[in-house]
Amino acid sequence: MTDVLGEIKKFFSDLGLQLELGIKDSNLGACTGEWIVPDEKKELVSINPADGEPIASIIQADEAAYEKVISTAAEAFTSWRIVPAPVRGEVVRDLGNELRVFKDPLGRLVSLEMGKILSEGLGEVQEMIDMCDFAVGLSRQLYGPNMPSERPRHRMYEQWHPLGVVGVISAFNFPVAVWAWNAALAAVCGDTVVWKPSSDAPLTAVAVQHICNRVMKRHDLHGIFNLLIGPGRSVGERLINDERVPLVSFTGSTKMGRHVAETTARRFGRSILELGGNNAIIVADDADLDLVLRAVLFAAVGTAGQRCTSLRRLFLQKAIAPQLIERLVKAYPSITIGDPLEDGVLMGPLVNERAVADHLAALDAIREQGGEILCGGGRPDREGFFVEPTIVKAHPDMEIAREETFAPILYVFEYETFDEAVAMHNSVDQGLSSAVFTESMRTAEQFLSHEGSDCGIANVNIGTSGAEIGGAFGGEKHTGGGREAGSDSWKGYMRRQTCTINWGGELPLAQGVKFEVE
C-alpha cells in the first residue's frame, strides 16, 4: 500500500494540494475555507478496507470547531444570497473545472478509502463534475411561474429565495458524489453548505474541502463550502438539532433517517432523506437474457452490493428461471475479487469488519429460514474485508429477504403471472429503485404505471443502479421520499414565495368577498 499512498500523495502534491497520507501527521477535520485547529485532539483513523491497514488520521471537530463552522456558514449566507444566481453558477463552474484537474487522484483516493473499483472511483468524481455542469445551467433557470389573478389589474407570480445553511450528512458508499448532488445545487440556489461526511470515508472529504478552498480563495469567498468531521452522536446530533440549519440532507439507514426526520421536524426544519433500498428486477419470459445477465451482474455485485440502488431481489418467470439461474451461477465465480486499484478486479471489499459481520449474519438467517445458497456464501482467505458474492434461491416467506443487507447477496424468486411478480416486488417497506426486462410494450407500460412499481426509480431493460444526474434521485415509503440531483430537486434547497401586485386603483377581494366600510 505504501506505493499507492505515495502515488496518490504525489498526484495531489504536484497539483498544489497538500494532503497528509500516512499516520505520522494528521489532517484537520473542520474547515470554513481556513482549517480550524480544535482544542481537543481526538483522532479518527481512516482504514483501507482492502487490507485493514491505516491510511491516514484526521483530527475531529470539537464543540468549539463546530460552533466556528456553523456561525461562519450562517454569516456567509447573508452575503452569498445577494450574489446573482448566474454569478453563483460561475463559482460552481470553477469547482467543476477544478474537479476535472483532480479527477485521477481523487478517484484513486475514493477507491483506496472506500473500496470500490477504480473505474467506479473515477466515475464518482465524474458524477461530481457532471453535477456541477448541471447546476451551472440551473443557475439561470430558477424559474417561478406567473399565474392569472381573478382580480382586475392584479399580477400574481411565484418566486424562490435562498433557504440558508444546508447540512449534508453523507454515507460511506458514495463518499464524494452525494455531497456534490447537494452542494452544487445548494450553492447556485444561494445557500451555504456544512458537510458531515461518513467516519468511514473522511479522507476523501478532506481532499474535496482542499479543492473547495482553492475555488473559494480564487473568488474571494469564505464559508460557502464547509467541513465538519466528527462522530454522529456529537457532531451529527448537533447539526440536526441546530436552528441555524433549516435543511438537513441525510443519506443513510432508514433507522437513522427516521431519527433525522423526527428531530428536524420537531424544530420545523426540513429534511431530504435518501434511505434504505431493497431493489428488485422482474424478468419476463420474453426478456433478452443476455441483457439481463449483464445488468444483474453489475447491479448485484458492483460496489460489492454497497449501493443504495444495488440489486437485492430478482423475480424470474418460471419458464426462463432455470436457464437464467444456471447462467448466473456459472458467471459469479468468474467475478474477480481483490484490491480495487488493480486492473481487472470487478469487486472490492466491504467497507469494514462490521459490514462483513452483517453479511455473515444474513447468511446464517438465510439458512435458518430455508433459503438455498446456490453459490458464494463464504469469505475469501485474504487480508481485508472481503466476502464472496452470493446467490440465494429464496421463497416469499423469508423475512431476511425483506431487509436491506448492505452486501452482495442476491435473492432469486420465481413467479407465474406478471401481476404476482409486481405484488411481490411491492411487498417490502423500501421503495427506491426497480426494473423490468421485457420486449413487450404492454408489460413495460404496466410496470411504469400506477399499477406497477411503487418505487421512486423505475427502469425498463436496464438495471437498478447507475442513475444519471439529470433525473431526480430518491425513493418512496421507508426510503424517505427525498429527491436529489436532477429535474426540479433544486426546489428543496429554496423557499417558495407567492407574490401578488395590485397595479390598479381599486381593492377588490378574492372569491367575491365584500367588505365595505362607510
Q: Is residue 411 part of a domain?
A: yes
Write the pLDDT tens digit of every residue in 281-298: 999 999 999 999 999 999
pLDDT at residue 132 tops 70: yes
What is the number of residues in the chain?
518
Tell me the average pLDDT across 27-31: 95
Write down the pLDDT at residue 150. Answer: 96
Are 300 and 397 part of one and the same domain? yes
C-alpha radius of gyration, the chain, whole number: 25
Cβ atoms of residues 107 and 125 within 8 Å: yes
Give Cβ neighbours of residue 42 (< 8 Å, ≥ 6 apart). Answer: 59, 60, 62
∠ CA 90-136-181 to the nearest 5 degrees? 115
When pLDDT is cut at 50, 70 and 90, the band that residue 107 belongs to is very high
Q: Is residue 513 part of a domain?
A: no
Are 351 and 245 part of one and the same domain? no
- The residues annotated as belonging to the active site are 274, 308
Percentage of the chain lying above the pLDDT 90 cut: 92
Q: Is residue 123 part of a domain?
A: yes
Are 327 and 374 part of one and the same domain? yes
Are 197 and 112 part of one and the same domain? yes
User: What does the alpha-carbon distance between residue 427 and residue 186 come to, in Å, rounded to a whole number?
Assistant: 35
Are 129 and 257 part of one and the same domain? yes
Q: Which CATH number fits the domain that encloses residue 437?
A: 3.40.309.10
**By mean pLDDT, which of 3-17, 185-199, 211-225, 451-465 is the weakest?**
3-17
Are 325 and 435 part of one and the same domain? yes
Are 271 and 310 part of one and the same domain? no
Write the pLDDT tens digit of every residue in 147-181: 999 999 999 999 999 999 999 999 999 999 999 99
Are 43 and 123 part of one and the same domain? yes
Are 284 and 270 part of one and the same domain? no
Show the domain range for 217: 2-275
Write down the pLDDT at residue 22. Answer: 82
- The total number of structural domains in the chain stands at 2
Q: Is residue 505 part of a domain?
A: no
